[in-house]
Amino acid sequence: MVFKSNLLCKIIGFVHLINNQLYKSKYLTIFKRLGSHSVLALIALIVIGGATRVMEAGLACPDWPLCYGSFLPFNHMNLRVFLEWFHRLDAFLVGILILFKFSLSIIWKNEIPNWLPKTYSILLFLVIVQGSFGALTVINLLDSYTVTGHLLIAFLLLITTISINQNLENNDIEEPLIWWRFLLFFPLLLTLVQSFIGVRLSSTWSAHICLSFNKQCLILNIHKLFAFPIAFSILLITAAAIYKRSLLNENWKYLSALIFLLFSQIALGVLSLKTNLNEPIFIIGHQLNASLFIAILTTLIFRNPFTKKGLNHSLNSQMVGINT
């Protein structure tokens, strides 16, 4: 009788575990999907912002947050106005999406990890700061430091969003591998600094002045020099993954993408200079590559470098108890 009672309790506990895991996974799946859409929207936002800067369309809409006093300025529409208007529209949609995720995390706070609402509150704060910098960019007539800060917040939004997504995916990290994360953090930091120098180049016209009059070339030279430590760090990461074969097996797609983006980024930079920055497609591609480069590095830092056990691990342990 006691044996049957214990067996019944274990079966009930097993069923309860399944229902609880599936119940919570339903909510987490929604956040994962919304997070993936957020990453795509943020990369698009950064690239469109770069295109707006390259096409000198930052002041195409003289007022803020509307454009020529309306939500859709048909009477003033041209390529530059469209770029600035679409950039603001994308930023608005990103803000709404993050606000929606934050609201869901508050409503479902009892069914999701405790850290999720807190992290979404940080994202929401960054969105507010990003919108403020967007307004200051127009009010201050494209001040270089304001434009640079605008890009900084955008990258922070992208990095934070990806880190949240990867933490939702990581059910059980058996081996943190701090040294691996440190190796990845180094090129991420260098790429961020190089991106900010690139914004200073374009927003202060230093690159054009250097190429045309051979003056104010310091910023351009520093920007080019950063390619060497970044390339060395990526090759070092690849060598470390090859040495520790398990890392290569689980992350070879990301590492291959990093190497491809590295060489294509260098090629786009050279082409941009060879054409005296007169071909927007090269400069915009340069910005897109940088965004993807940062996104992949962030993913590698926060993802589980090994195969996850997740739900199956929890259920198997319960099955062992029942079988016993």
Residue 277 zone, left/alpha/beta (φ > 0; ψ -120 to 50; rest): left
Give the pLDDT confidence of 212-249 residue by residue, as tens digits: 888 888 888 999 999 999 999 999 999 999 998 888 89
For the stretch 25-81, pLDDT in tens is 678 888 999 999 999 999 999 999 988 988 888 889 988 888 998 888 988 889 899
Cα 228 from chain centroid (whole Å): 23
The label of the residue with tokens 């430590």 reads 229
- Tell me the C-alpha to C-alpha distance, in Å, between residue 237 and each of 39, 79, 174, 234: 24, 42, 21, 5
Query: Which bin fits 310, alpha (ψ -120 to 50), beta or left (φ > 0)?
Result: left
Number of H helices, E strands in the chain: 11, 0
Half-sphere exposure of 293 (CA within 13 A, CB side): 28
| Spatial CA neighbour of 168 closest among 113, 124, 109, 122 | 113
Q: How confident is the model at residue 168 (pLDDT cuts 50, 70, 90)?
A: confident
- At 181, the amino acid letter reads R
pTM, 2 dp: 0.84
pLDDT at residue 175, as a whole number? 56
d(C-alpha 278, C-alpha 143), whole Å: 22
Give me the percent of the chain exceeding a pLDDT of 70: 85
Q: What is the pLDDT of residues 284-314, one digit of tens each?
A: 999 999 999 999 999 999 987 765 444 444 4
DSSP E strands, 12-123: none
Give the DSSP H/E element, type plus range, for residue 36: helix 2-54
Cα torsion 223, 257, 159, 243 to 10°: value is -100
